[in-house]
Structures are given as C-alpha cells and as structure tokens.
Structure 1
Amino acid sequence: MVMTGKTDPLYLLLISVHGLIRGHDLELGRDADTGGQTKYVVDLTRALALREDVERVDLVTRQIIDANISADYGEPVERLQDKARIIRIAAGPDGYFRKEELWDYLDIFADNLLHWLYQQPRMPDILHSHYADAGYVAMRLAHLTGIPLIHTGHSLGRDKRGRLLATGLLNESIEQRYHLSRRIHVEEDVLANAELVITSTHNEIAEQYELYDYYHPERMVVIPPGTDLDQFHAPDGSEINTAIHKSLTRFLNEPEKPMILALSRPDLRKNIATLIEAYGECPKLQRLANLVIVAGCRDDIREMDEGTQSVLTDILLLIDCYDLYGRIAIPKHHNQEDVPVIYRLAALSKGVFVNPALTEPFGLTLLEAAACGLPLVATENGGPVDIVGNCRNGLLIDPLDKQALAEALMALLKDRQQWRTFSENGLINVRRYYSWQAHAEKYMNSIKPLLGQQMPLPKVARSRNSLRYQDRAIFTDIDQSLLGNPEGLLEFARYIRDKRRHVFFGIATGRRLDSALTVLRKHRIPTPDVLLTSLGTEIYYAPHITADMAWARHIDHYWNPGAIRRIMSEMPGLTWQPKNEQSRFKISFYYNPDIAPSPDEINARLRQEEQVVNARLAFGQYFDIVPVRASKGLALRYFSQQWSIPLGRILVAGGSAADEDMMRGNTLAVVVANQHREELAQLDEPERIYFARQPYALGIIEAIEHYDFFNNND
C-alpha cells in the first residue's frame, strides 16, 4: 500500500471494555476476563507511546466502582507514561460484571465516550477496538465521526462456539452463558466496517476469520505481540530462594523432579481438566515429572463466579480421583512478579510448558515460557502454530487427545538433547520475532495508509437566534408512537405548542419527507424543528425544511444501491415497495416470511457480496436497507452534537423494534403502549427506558411527567 501524506504525530485511541485494566500489578488469571488481552493492550499502549510519530495514546476501558476490587479501577484517568494514559468511561451500574453481562450497557459506553472525545483538544486519527464488545463501541463512534476503525478480535465467537460444542456442551447452554449469537452478529458487522483487522497469527486469518461472511484477508495483517525480555529471560539460579518456589514445593513429595507447567485462567476453554486426566492416566509420566497448575488466584472457590467455580472444582475432583497428592501443585495465590520466576523454575528443573487449550487465539504465555528457555507442548488450534513454527521450540498436539498429550510431554522430558535444542531455539527466536519494538514499527506502517482516506464529520456552526432558549428536545416516531389515539394526539399537540419556546420538537420516521409532512398536516401536528426521515438517512430543519447536506455526504460512505438492488432482486419472498417509499438512501421491500430468506441470511448474502449496509426487518413485513452509517439513532446523535443538546436532555418516543437504536444509550426513552411494544420488551435500563401505561401520544406525555423532563438538567 502507498503511504499517505500525513506526517504529523498521531493520536491513537485504543478501546478494550471488559476485565480489569490498570498500569501496574495486573490481576492476570483472576477470572476469565482478565487474561492475555489485558496485558496485551497495556503493553501495546506503552510501546506505541514510545514512538516519535505518535503524539498520544489513550487506552479506554470501563470505569468500575466496586468494594470487592481495587479502587484503581474507578479512577477516571491513570497515567501510564509520557504520552500514554488509561481512560475509564462509565457504562451502566458501577459494579464489576463479566463481559457477557455488559452488552446492554455498550450504547451508554459509546455515548459517554463520544461526549468525552468532543471535550478533548483533538479527535483521534485511529480507533482501535479489542474484542467484540469494544468493536461494537468503536463501530458506533466510527459511524458518527468518520474516524478509521481497526480491530483486533483476540478470540472469535464462531470458533469458540465450535470448540465448546466439541466438548459436549449443548448449544442452548452455550448461548445462555456466553450470548454467542449476539457476539457473532457484532463480529460480522465489525469485520464489514473495519478498515484493517490486526491478527496475531496466520492461523487466525485462515481458520477463524474464514468462518465469517465478510471474509477479506487482504484487509488483515499479522502483527505478533511482543514480549518483555527484561522480565522474561533464562534462569540464573536465584529463583530457588524465592517465596513462590517454597509455595510450589510444599505440595510435592519429590520437588527436584522436572516440572510440567500449565499457566492460564481457570476457564473451560483452557482445557486444564484434559491435562490432569492425561497425567493421571499415565503412571510413566507421573514418575518422570510433577504437574504444576497455576490457574489464577483464589481465596474461597465457593465465592467465585459460576464458570470459574466449576473449573476449579473439577480440577480438585480430578486430583482426588487420580490420587495425585504429592505429585501436583496448584497454589492459591501468586503475584504478577511471580510469573517470570515460575517459568524460570520450570526451566531450571528441565521441565516443559504445556498449553492444552481447546483453541488459543495467540498464546502470550507461550512466548513468555520460550523467553525463559522452556520447551513447549501446545494446542494445534490457533496461535501456537505460528509461535512454534517461528521459534522451533516445541510440539503441537490435538488438545482432546489425552494419549497424544502425554506422549508429547514424555518425549521432551526423556530426550535431553531435544530439550536443550528447543530451549535454545526459544531463547534466540523469541528475541528475533517477538519484540514490542518490532510490533510497534509494523503497526504504524500498517495504519498510516488509512489516514486521510475518510473525511471526519465536521461540527457545523448553527444559527441559534430564534432557538436560543431551546436546551432540550423531544423526538418521536409517527406511526407507532404518535398516531393511534386522536384525543391523545390533540393533547400532545397543545403540549408542544405551549412548550415550543423551550424544546426542540423532532420527528424520527421511516417515512419519506413528503409522506411525513402530509401525515403531520392531516393530523394538525405542529411542524417539527427537525425531521429525521427515511430511517434517519435524511435530516431536515425548519422553517424552510432545509436538508442537511453534510449528513448526506457522510452516510454515502460504502453505499452502492445498484449492487444492492441486483443482489436483492435474486432473492425470493421480497417485493419492491412503491417508489414513494424508496429514496436515495433507502431501499425498501415487502417481506413474505413464508418464502423469503431470514434476515440473518439476507445480511450474510449482502456481506458476502461486499455490501456494508444497515438492513433490518420491521413489523415482520417490511425489509429496509440503508447505508451503514445511517439509522434513527445515529441521526439523532448527529443532531445532538450539531446543536449541542446533551443526550440526557432528549426524550425519545418509540413503539417498535425500528426505534430500538435511538432508545439505547443516554437518551431518555419511552416505549408507548401499542400493539408492537413487545418488540422492545428486551430493553432493560429502568433509569432511561420507561414503559408507559398510556397509549401513543398520551404515553409520551406520561413519560414527560415521569422524567420531570423540563426540570431534568443531565
């Protein structure tokens, strides 16, 4: 790719939502959400901030205020080093939640982060999201700002579901715990919208991303993470006198034997149980070596989350089943500083590091072990393929084949020459292939061609002469929110006229402008100050119904209506709606559920044909396609920024699934009573989403009183 002309130092914004992130004493292994990704994003932030072509790096994560964890995670700003900070943004309740429980708060996170960004001296040059949840947030920001999005998946939902099914878990159980359908849907959207996807290995591209509809390897680049070679290095003998050495040896009858070391989170996917079974069923292996499992930290297993509790309980039951007492060590606690020492102790013992995970997106622990001179036995699924291929320091195994796992461990423990060769190869090649300096260099070379390709959405100076007293807004859909109760509509119209001096009145509708104006005049509804029409693809302002051309230019990104019409014409069960329901940025069909493909299948086909759009089914019978940067919710947030109206002072009324994206987040929302309100029953944010008892326009008035809207100054 050709480099662009941008030469000013860059402002990079990294987003990693879940887990516990801070700049010191990372609690790696505390739970399933505080693992390698946590360390990766902190190390990446530091490495990028050391470069002269970088002005500033902010790592954004969720602010957590919880008496059960350190107060560090509640600090809004933490300085990492010169030019690098951790920024913590509030999202939903204060407490600490596992990542699967955060999905409903991501819109709030995105709204709060966008508000924070607009307060900064400048906008970022790049948004870099980590994992699907951050991908969702960054994608919303990219749609609203035009800033290029790059993404790192770390692990992928489709691959995870396949591996979990292979263990015998039922799909229903997997879905209930991990919400994988929602995650996979977001991953599909992120892949379609990202300008660049950064992976750690070629295996991720060839075997994991290949499972997705929008699979374009030319938009992907392999940049392996680095290793801190000051921390992780060959042993020097001092490790014997450490506290962690004493903590491990107290478990063992013969502590001088080689150590088979497994170090990971207590997570089902890490497959620790299979390792214990392989060891327990092989007396020869037990005679050759001790097994050391470092699986996070714990005080009382009974007080841990369900998933962690289940894994640790299974480990203890297996130890008892195979009567491995005296041959296995499983310490309750270790510090971050202990981890390099544990690797070096294993190397001193002429042991082996083992990673039996069902799949390993990359495998930072493999690099750390190799940097300490430990040979590897690792899963053949994922990142270890590249690591062992580059470092030539270990063996790959099928993680579900207990016999193969035991034989690989015995082969390295018995063949001293092979052990020495693998140990030396690891020490040399980790330094050669996996340094943070090399990572940052390739990272910058990969992102610079993206700069200047997109035009950020400007903030337009607006005249507020006649509207200078309006500091809040009410937006409502027409058909399922406003109309339906004539008496209520008359009362609402009087209400708006009385409050017009203080409030913007806006319409957000799927109708075209002409249709919307006709209905409003017919029902004598006051002319709105702003109309978001055709599902948010067009924005008009009173009194002259002036089109916002900046918004039109912004949403034209990736829009290819000719290709979309060609693709859709080949699908059964879809009939074109009349021309008066179509517009430049809206393609609409009648949908026959008896013969038409499902909405997911239609979206998959569009992605496979490289069409990046926002497509959805409404009321079970209307299928609409608009540009990916357009929706009622995105148009509403654009209005909020342009007119400096905080989202907390915008009341949004909706009555069907078509309104969901403008109701999530920081707006004050009301779901009015009507026949379609069940489509919004999944919304659950009691402080900002109110389910009115009254129907249609009366429900909006009820919500105004519920929120004390005209005295609310959020």
Structure 2
Amino acid sequence: MLDQKLYILMISVHGLIRGHDMELGHDADTGGQITYVVELARALGRNSNIAQVDLLTRQIEDSKISPDYATHIEKLGPNAQIVRLPCGPRKYLRKELLWPHLDQMVDRCLHYLRQQGRLPDLIHTHYADAGYVGLHLSNLLGIPQIHTGHSLGRPKRERLLAAGRKEQTIERQFNLSQRIAAEEETLVHASLIVTSTSQEIEDQYGMYKNTDPRHCRVIPPGTDTSRFSPPGRKLIDPNTQTGVDRFLSNPKKPMILAISRPDTRKNLDGLIEAYGSDQSLQDIANLVIVAGSREDIRMMETSQREVMNDLLLDIDRYDLWGKVAIPKHFTAEDIPELYRLAVRRRGIFINPALTEPFGLTLIEAAASGLPIIAPEDGGPRDIIANCRNGLLVNTLNHTEIANALKEALSDRKRWRDWSRNGITNVRRHYTWDAHVTKYVREVNKLLRKARKRLRRQSAATLYPDWAPIPLARKIIISDIDNTLLGDEQGLAELLQWLRAHADTVSFGVATGRSLESAVKILKKWHVPMPDVLITSVGSEINYWPSLRPDQGWSNHIRHQWRREALAEALQAIPGLTLQPPENQREFKLSYLVAPEQMPPLEQLYQYLHQQNLHAKLIYSHETFLDVLPTRASKGLAVRYLAYKWGLSLQNFLIAGDSGNDEEMLVGDTLGVVVGNHSPELEPLRGLEQMYFASNTYARGILEGLEHYNFAQ
C-alpha cells in the first residue's frame, strides 16, 4: 500500500562512513559521497513518509582507524541508522580491492533483512560496488533498485587516457573493466537512476550502451544549512583561524579557498601553477588549500603522497612561502568555519577539478555566502545558473584560472551580490528537504508502476502464494519429475497445503532439468512458480520472479571447472553419448549412458584425476550421467541456500525419488522419499531424519509433512 510508510535500504560499501566527525579526505574513497549518503539518510529519516532508513556499509576492525567503524549499529537521527556488516577481511581496504568480497556482502545483507521481519520497499545503491550488491539483492528479493553513480568508470578511464596514462597501468590500479561491467549491468536492471545534473545524464551516462534516459531523474543533492551559513556577527573559531594564519605573512588579505581530496583529478597542481605564475594575484590574495588531514605525508597512500609531494615542491618552485597555507588537521566539523573565515576576508571559493559531476563543496560555500569559481563542466554549470554567485572557467588552462580569480576579487559590489545570491538560491534549490520531497515523489511513482506490473504478471502467469524466502521460517524443496508431478489430485492438495501455510513456509524445486524446461513443465501442470529453482542438477540457482541467477553460487562453483577440457577427455569413454545441446549448460555436461559399456564411476574419477581434471559425476536412473563442478550438486545448493538465507538445515524439508536427489536428502535436512522412488534410494532407508512415504508423488510429500509435523 502506498499509504504505508516506506522502509528504504541504502547501500554504500566503501570508504569510512560514520555520522559524526567524518574523516573527509582520509583517502580517495572518503569524500563527497560519504557526506551525500549520510545526509540523505538523515533527511529521509525526518520525512513523514518514511518509516525506516538503513544505510548499509562495511564493518571495519582495524587498529589504524577509529573503533567507530566496527560498531554494528549507529543512530543517525529519527528513523535512520548506519548498519555495518562484515565483508571480507576485517581491515580497511580501498574500493578497488573489495570486488572479490561483494558476494559475501549480498549474503550478509540477506541475513540482516531476515532479522528485520519486513523487507525494504526499495534498495538505493551508491557507486558501482554497491550497485553490484544491490542488483543481486533486488533480483533475489524482487525489490526495485534505485542507483546513484557518484562517479563513473568510463569517463574516468577516458580522462586518465587523455592525461597520458597507459591502459594497462590504469586497469592494474583501478580495475576499471570490472567496475564498468558492473555499471552496465546495474543500468540494465535499475528502475531509476538518480543524477545531480542533466549534463551527467547526457555526457557521462551517455557513454554507456545500457543507459536509458527515461529511467534517469535529476534530483540535486542538498546541503545542511544549519551547518553552512554566513558568519554574521558570530566570532570565527580561533582554532580554525590560527590553523590557517600561522602559514601566512599577511593573513588579512582576501582568501582563495580550495577544499578537496589530494587526488590528481582535483587539479590542485593546476591551481598552484595559476597562483604561482601570476604575481598580481599573489599580491591581492592568499591561497588556502585544505586537502584532507594528515599526520605524515610519507605514510599516505601512494597516489595521495604523490599529489602532496608535488604541491609542496610547486610551492617551493614558485617561492610561495607565506602566501599559501596547506594545514594538516581539519575535520568535517571545521569546514563550515573555514568557509565563514573566507567570507569574513572577502575571499573566493574555487573548485579547480578537471571535471566535476556535481560539486557539493560549491553548494556549501554558496550557503555560507562565499562566491565560487568552478569548472565549466558537469554540475557547476547548473549550480552557477541557479545560484548566480560566481564564474565558470576552463580549469585546464592555468592562465584562465588566474584571470577568473582576479576578476572575482576585483569588484566589491559584485562580490556582495554573489554572496547574497548564493545564500538565497541555495535555500531555494539545494536543501535536503527539497531533495527528499522530490525523491519521495519519484519513489511513489516507481512503486505504483512496480505494483501494476506485479498485478499484470500475476494475472498472466502463475505467481507464488507462499512466503518469500527472506521472510519464511521453513522451506520445502522438491524434485519435479516423479516427485512433485505425476498425480494431479495429490498436487492440488499439496498446493492447498502450501497456501494454508503461506505466512511461514516458502517453496522451491531442485531438478536435473534446465531452467527453461523446469519453468515450462511447471506451467504445464499449473504450478505457481517457486521462489527458488535449483536446476541443471544443482549447477544453477535462480529466483522468481526475475529468474536471474544467483551470481554468488556461480562464482563459488566455478572453482577448478574446465568445461571444454572435460568434454574433450570424456569423448574417449565408451558408453557415453552427449545429450542434445539444449541439455548442456555452462556448468553441466550431460550424457546418455549405455550401462553395459560405461566403466564404473570409480574408474572415471581416476581417469579424470590422471588428466588433472576435477568434476563431480552424477549417475541416475541407469540412463543419465551429469558432469558438474566439484562444488555443485543439488545437495550443496540446498546447503548454500541455508547459509545465504540464514536458515537452519532442519528447517528444510527435501523431497525426492531418484539417485540425483540422494545428496540433498541426507544430512541435517528432513528427508522425504516418495513411494514411487527408484531402487537407488533404498540404502537410505532407516537413516535418521529420512522418511520413506507409502504414498506416491505429491501425496508422498504431504505424508512427509505430516510425519515431521512441519507446519509447527
């Protein structure tokens, strides 16, 4: 119901995220995105339409950083909190090293959501890594995904190539191929892409083949005007002023202020060159660069260390001592005071970046009454058009930067007009309340469309009547042929039982059939689609309604799998004939067997071992042989589901009839062997938690449900 308050799950994986004393500039991963996601979560939590906002990020236990980042839950304000989940190593990792661990983040998110007892209404992801996590959660849960890119891989690669970097070096440092692939996949799936400017849609997302402008919405971010405001009569914090003035010979001169991470894209070296090459600019103003906090430049990560070293060398080259301040220690709480100090000294704020998707610092400066100079690219064009408080400049040209600074500082009346315009127009265009109002409006339109689509899908197809896996407390997994199907009346009775227990029990199938074949036969028998389909003898896991694969499972079973080499090696084995192409899959080779000719399985395993090949051989009905990755089978797939969804194996009831069901029947699951089972399963009779039903097909499953009192 749209009148129900919304539960929003936000995901931002990398960097250092906390609700206080944000360590902006700590590294390349802790910048404007961190401010954005924390402030957005807070603002959403204040909105009357929102019941809960969870900002999910990575839990970090590392002696080199604050213990705050190890705290599981941190309150941000009304109805909003940061939730930190373990993902990969405990130590802090830069974002390029997180990709191998993101499937684990998917699983951790599922565990967390199970504990909430309510699924989110939507998932909002930030940056490519979170986009990957959110894509898989969205597919698993059937929940719409909203995505904000913040920065994109394709434009970044183009800029680095244009700057003379080699493609192999770029790939080795930034892993852009994987990032771009994830961005393309997210663009295919996401229901809504939130951008800050129209230029971002046209020039940056326009570089992607899967961008659909109809799914993009411009919703400019806000700024906290309770923090960023003009100085008025209020005294400037003396610690802030001292931290700047101790570098300067004449601190009362107007102040050119730049705030950014020490990153080559931020073009701080170009700003130093512009200032150092123009003596008249040095005469009228000081330059203050806040490039994060640092203890020792030698201890910074390589890319940041190089930027800081170059800045200091350029200051010395142009002999700017006493004219340039590069303070060491400033926190996020000090930044508003820096803007106000610059206003008091009738200074200017400059963002000299080579390109700027948005420019949150420009909004902060404007809200403080500080005029701005910014790149004639991306977000700044919209900001200055809306706020009318500064100049656009070609930041690739240091002479133009210097001339723009002198022009901005030379006219006191225009400076006052720009200052007033910035304050007024930020409140008009760039508050978080205005952002959230538009955001909620777009979300409600999106959810209405999603529900209409769901109703059409329910009418056109057979949609499940049982509990979705994330909210289920128990799951029934049944083989299809000769177990679930075979008796129409028994099947109808089983489906009635499932509907009667829909609040707690979910339903899935596990079969040797391909996904397409499984869906086709279930529709033929009028079986509502299961929540989960384990197909191709356990080598694939897919979820209804999207039928998208569980990528975590695919990545897991890929280990030591050499499909083409196995097919070539098995050509020499008598009694094996490849089944038709439609029965072959990425992680499965399927053969028809002449039992009197095929060697025993033990000999086949020895033969493959001699060829340095690894596979699992599943022999069933004395007719079929399936060759799978060593980590794949219906039984292992069930155990993977138990782990992924946070359910005990004793909450799984497994029903089967043949040899390829054996592995999923044994162990801690509750096994049901239907009365029409093949002789291959007779050795299981008498095992603990193994029930042999006297009834056949679906009635045998019902008999097992009654035996285990599974509904309780």
Alignment match of 2:124 (pick from 122, 128, 133):
128
Q: Which residue of 1 aligns with 2:309?
A: 313
2:150 is the alignment partner of 1:190:
no
How does 1:70-89 map onto structure 2 within 5 Å? 70-89=66-85
Aligned partner (choices 375, 380, 386) of residue 379 of structure 1: 375
1:555 and 2:558 aligned: no
Match of 1:533 in 2: 536
Q: Among residues 178, 200, 207, which one is paired with 2:174 in the alignment?
A: 178
Q: How well do the aligned residues superpose, as a CA RMSD in angstroms?
A: 3.4
Question: CA–CA distance in 2 between the matches of 1:637 and 1:311?
Answer: 50
2:500: which partner in 1? none
Residue 507 (structure 1) shift: 8.0
Q: Aligned letter for 1:386?
A: D
Once the two structures are TM-superposed, the CA of residue 236 in structure 1 deviates from its matched residue by 2.3
Q: Decide whether the 8 Å contact of 1:240 with 1:345 is kept in 2.
A: yes
Q: Could you tell me which of 449, 455, 468 is aligned with 1:458?
A: 468
More moved, 400-409 vs 634-643: 634-643
Determine what percentage of the aligned residue pairs are the same residue.
48
Cα contact 1:537–1:555 (8 A) shared by 2: no
The 8 Å contact of residues 60 and 86 in structure 2, kept in 1 or not, is answered as yes
Cα distance in 1, alignment partners of residues 111 and 85 from structure 2: 10
Q: Is the 8 A contact 2:534 2:634 kept in 1?
A: no
Separation in structure 2 between the aligned mates of residue 182 and residue 644 of structure 1, nearest angstrom: 26
Q: How does 1:264-663 map to 2 (within 5 A)?
A: 264-451=260-447, 453=450, 458-459=468-469, 532-533=535-536, 551=543, 553-555=545-547, 580-582=580-582
Q: Following TM superposition, by how much is the alpha carbon of 1:179 offset from its aligned partner in structure 2, in angstroms?
A: 1.1
* CA distance 1:337–1:636, change in 2 (3 Å): farther
Residue number in structure 1 paired with 2:98:
102
**How far off its partner does 1:242 sit?**
1.5
CA distance in structure 1 between the partners assigned to 2:478 and 2:402 by the alignment? 79
Residues of 1 paired with 2:413 and 2:193: CA distance? 40
* 1:48 maps to amino acid: L
Structure 2 CA distance for aligned equivalents of residues 71 and 314 of structure 1: 32
Give the letter for the 2:547 counterpart: I
Bigger Cα displacement from structure 2, 229-238 vs 214-223: 229-238
Maintained 8 Å contact 1:132/1:187? yes
2: CA distance, partners of 1:27 / 1:443: 27
Q: In the alignment, what sits opposite 2:200?
A: 204
Letter of the structure 1 residue corresponding to residue 380 of structure 2: P
Mapping of residues 55-66 of structure 1, within 5 Å:
55-66=51-62
Q: Distance in 2 between matches of 1:537 and 1:80?
A: 40
Normalised by the size of structure 2, how large is the TM-score?
0.68
Q: Summarize deviations over 1:91-138 as a string: whole Å, max 9, x none.
A: 110001111111111111111111211221101000000000000000
Counterpart residue identity of residue 244, structure 2: L
C-alpha distance 648-122 of structure 1, shift in aligned 2 (>3 A): closer
CA distance in 1, matches of 2:39, 2:636: 33
Deviation at 1:84, TM superposition (A): 1.0
Cα distance between partner residues in 2 of 1:466 and 1:224:
50
Distance 1:287 1:510, change over 3 A: farther
Q: Does residue 232 of structure 1 match 2:252?
A: no
Q: CA deviation at 1:167?
A: 2.3
**1:422-462 CA-partner distances (Å, limit 9, x unpaired):** 11111110111011111111000001122251659823786
Among candidates 32, 42, 54, match of residue 36 of structure 1: 32
CA distance in 2, matches of 1:230, 1:219: 33
Distance 1:262 1:555, change over 3 A: same
Tell me the TM-score normalized by structure 1: 0.68
Q: Is the 8 A contact 2:534 2:540 kept in 1?
A: no
- Whether 1:249 aligns to 2:245 is yes
Q: 1:530 to 1:203 in 2, by over 3 A?
A: closer
Deviation at 1:381, TM superposition (A): 2.1
Indicate if the aligned counterparts of 2:538 and 2:633 stay in contact, CA closer than 8 A: no
Aligned residue pairs total 521
Asked if the contact 1:512/1:534 (under 8 Å) is kept, the reply is no
The residue that corresponds to 1:598 in the other structure is none
Deviation of 1:337 (Å): 2.0
Q: Secondary structure in 1 aligned to 2:81?
A: strand
CA distance in 2, matches of 1:466, 1:533: 14
In 2 relative to 1, CA 278–22 (structure 1 residues): closer, same or farther, beyond 3 Å? Answer: same
CA distance change for structure 1 residues 264 and 461 in 2, over 3 Å: closer, same or farther? closer
Inter-partner Cα distance in structure 2 for 1:245 and 1:556:
57
Q: Which ranges in structure 2 are unaligned for 5 or more consecutive residues?
A: 455-463, 480-507, 519-531, 550-577, 589-630, 650-712
Of 240, 254, 260 in structure 2, the residue corresponding to residue 258 of structure 1 is 254
| 1:237-294 CA-partner distances (Å, limit 9, x unpaired) | 5444511101111111111111110001111111101100111111111111110000
Q: Deviation digits for residues 67-88 of structure 1, max 9, x if unmatched?
A: 0111110011111222111100
User: For residue 39 of structure 2, what is the amino acid of its counterpart?
Assistant: D
Q: Which structure 1 residue ranges, 5 or more long, are not aligned?
A: 468-503, 515-528, 540-550, 558-577, 589-631, 651-714
Q: Aligned partner of 1:167: which letter? A: A
Pairwise CA distance, 1:215: 1.7
- Mapped to 2, the partners of 1:438 and 1:641 lie a distance apart of 44
SS of residue paired to 1:119: helix
Q: Is 2:152 aligned against 1:156?
A: yes
In structure 2, distance between residues paired with 1:120 and 1:288? 59
